[in-house]
Amino acid sequence: EAGVAQSPRYKIIEKRQSVAFWCNPISGHATLYWYQQILGQGPKLLIQFQNNGVVDDSQLPKDRFSAERLKGVDSTLKIQPAKLEDSAVYLCASSFKRELHEQFFGPGTRLTVL
């Protein structure tokens, strides 16, 4: 079974630029999560989708972050404009059923904002 795919793996941008990350979850997984992991911290949930609907986006900085999951499969997370404090690893995870509490993570995209 293929795992969660993410691209790009690394991205370096200057502050105030925009950036987008892509995630392809495990086939058949209805729930998709985006996490932000700042160096030395645990992952923090940004947004959660069930199919193509948003379940929880309470910790998403909506003035600069946006995410979508068209057709309930792939998802993109965008930051516009980026700030220095957005430097982090952005992890995508998916799960087959929310009730199972088992989330499978992708390798992440490491973002550096200069």
Task: Please report, as ranges, the residues that interact with another protein according to CB under 8 A.
Answer: 4, 31, 40-45, 48, 56, 91, 93, 95, 98-99, 101-108, 110
State in angstroms the smallest separation of the CB of 23 from another protein.
11
Q: What is the largest CA-CA distance in the chain?
A: 40
Secondary element (H or E) of residue 112: strand 109-113
| Residue 40 or 63 with smaller CB distance to another protein | 40
Distance CA 63, CA 82 (A): 11
Torsion sign (Cα): 49, 55, 61, 67? positive
State in angstroms the smallest separation of the CB of 105 from another protein.
3
| Residue 48 or 75 with smaller CB distance to another protein | 48
State both tokens at 29. 């997984």
State in angstroms the smallest separation of the CB of 33 from another protein.
8
